[in-house]
Structure 1
Amino acid sequence: MEIELPVRQLLDTKALLGEGAVWDHARKIVWFVDIKRRHLWHYDPDTGSNAHVEAPDQIGWALPANGGALLCGLKDGLHVFDPRTRDFDKLADIPGESPANRLNDACTDPWGRVWFGTMHDEEELSSGRFYVFDRGEIRPAGPSGITITNGPAVNRDGSLIYFTDTLGRTIYVADLTADGVGEPRLLVDTSRDFPGAYPDGPVVDAEGYIWTALYLGGRVARYSPEGTLAATVAIPARDVTKLAFGGTDLSTAFVTSATKNMEPDDMTRFPQAGSLFAFDAPAPGFVQPLVELA
């Protein structure tokens, strides 16, 4: 079950809340964020070059879009980021969202839609829910009444979408089509396999298996499409937050981590916590579709 793979520390940012790893296939770089420091990072695995910009507010994710921009989920709504000018431009508010909520995680589907979730910033109220951004239109879609949403994640052909309720320790799956999303159904209660950990950012590989980071779990886990635990990979960080596939053949797993809830003794045990990591995955990912902005 536990796969012993060499895990490489790529970049030591000591992120408070590293999240949102995504592979930019056109630029051949990884984008990721430090939500609490409002940092949008990029990392080039070929050269090791990296840099960050400061967003106008807490930033949960950044996804490559058509035309070369990034669509970003900030606490106050959706923004478009131009990597050439390093400017953020507000695109839209999230209708009906409480100012106490923020955006947390997101993915694209084969139709260029963006699926994303909101959550209570203090992680106390069940005020979060999922939405879809469809060429300028934002509408609720998927589960609601969640304290910490994570994902969604969509499989390769766009037939399934996965939603994570982190504090509920559950991952749901629903059918997906060009017309919308079906009724979510429980895929797995991760507490049966990891009673002390919480499922965080998910992603699907090319074989249809779901990978989830494990906050307080020190690893990532791979589940079958039927919800059976297939493998785990240990990560040298306690609070693992998100995984993304990238690299030349899309078989490098890039992993983010966090430090915001760690005490000095925890940092002594996990001195690389908050870093961006990588390992060679047993199965590749697939190219994530670009966001269709309009």
Structure 2
Amino acid sequence: MAVIVPEVRRLLDAESLLGEGPCWDAARGVLWFVDIKRHRLWHYDPATGSNSFADAPEQIGWALPAEDGNLLCGLKDGLYLFDPEARSFEKLAAVPGEPAHNRLNDACTDPWGRVWFGSMDDAENAASGRFYVFDRGRIVPAGPSAISITNGPAVNADGSKIYFTDTVGQRILVADLGPEGVGEARLFADVKAHFADAYPDGPVVDAEGHVWTGLYNGWHLARFAPDGELTLSVKLPAQNLTKLAFGGKDLRTIFVTTAQKGLSAEQLAAQPWAGSLLAFDAPVAGVAPPPVKLA
């Protein structure tokens, strides 16, 4: 395994309590990300540095660009459409069967425009979380269940594999995927074996089919080969690294969200970049996320 310490840029001091869900919007040339606990949906334009946030009506876990120009967002109580021009949220659908103490946490699209997302216990205790797929307006359970903190999923470029993260279990699962649906999940990587005190957070797959993950309480990003072997560890100047996204014109910039949640006053003083949006030059290219098909 190689370890690198890249030249990290602090793009935005967002003061995120729980920064999450970075997603590159190729059509607009901007990055979207959220601060779940502060109910904020951020946009950042790397070409100009311009940025702003919209206040969401509830905790917001993710925002993914859709074909119609809106963003599909996962909030505590269901799926919403966000209009970037009007900066307004409109509820689209509740998630059937979700308990009131759960919230939606992370998501991705696949090559067919479907959205894979997970729920979790907001108190991070009960194993009440599970994964779903949103397919042109229809929401159905798909993938692992009985997980307290779900993260991901992440899908590879050709849509043949999908990765599910069990954060508290410190493991990443993989399943076969295709236009007809998803197969049985199996162990992909035992993260605890490599980072005993860190928790795998949001995953993403690069153009070479390798899986990257943020490590909460880990100070590192990790990159796993398609066979599950840990091949790269990237040291960054923040303890709680939540998720990364490949972006920029050539998809060779890695954007990283971070979190202040759980850090003491002393830790925050020692980590001035905690809660910031960070970036560094990627050693490999990423994959542009396909837009959501709403109908």
Range that drifts further, 60-69 or 260-269: 260-269
Distance 1:66 1:130 in 2: 23
Q: Deviations over 1:221-254 (max 9, x none)?
A: 1000111111111111110000000001001000
Q: Deviations over 1:144-199 (max 9, x none)?
A: 00000000000000000000000000000000000000000100110010001000
Distance 1:260 1:151 in 2: 19
Distance 2:274 2:291 in 1: 30
Tell me which amino acid in the other structure corresponds to 2:39: R
Q: Is 2:88 aligned against 1:100?
A: no
SS at match of 1:291: coil
Tell me which amino acid in the other structure corresponds to 1:126: A
Distance 2:47 2:235 in 1: 24
Q: Is 2:127 aligned against 1:126?
A: yes
* Long gaps (5+) in structure 1: none
Alignment map for 1:129-208 (pairs within 5 Å): 129-208=130-209
Distance 1:38 1:275 in 2: 16
Q: Is 2:58 aligned against 1:47?
A: no
Q: Which residue of 2 aligns with 1:89?
A: 90
| Deviation for aligned residue 1:269 | 1.9
SS at match of 1:68: coil
| Deviation for aligned residue 1:4 | 2.4
Range that drifts further, 263-272 or 39-48: 263-272
SS at match of 2:130: strand
Q: Which residue of 1 aligns with 2:6?
A: 5
Q: Is 2:70 aligned against 1:69?
A: yes
Q: Deviations over 1:63-94 (max 9, x none)?
A: 00011000000001000000011110100000
SS at match of 1:146: coil
Tell me which amino acid in the other structure corresponds to 1:16: L
SS at match of 1:266: helix
Percent identical residues: 63
Distance 2:234 2:45 in 1: 23
| Deviation for aligned residue 1:268 | 1.9
- Give the RMSD, CA atoms, in angstroms: 0.5
Tell me which amino acid in the other structure corresponds to 1:146: I
Distance 1:260 1:196 in 2: 16
Q: Which residue of 2 aligns with 1:226?
A: 227
Q: Deviations over 1:86-132 (max 9, x none)?
A: 11010000000001000000000000000000000000100000000
SS at match of 1:67: coil
Q: Which residue of 1 aligns with 2:24?
A: 23
* Long gaps (5+) in structure 2: none
SS at match of 2:266: helix
Distance 1:15 1:287 in 2: 25
Distance 1:14 1:92 in 2: 30
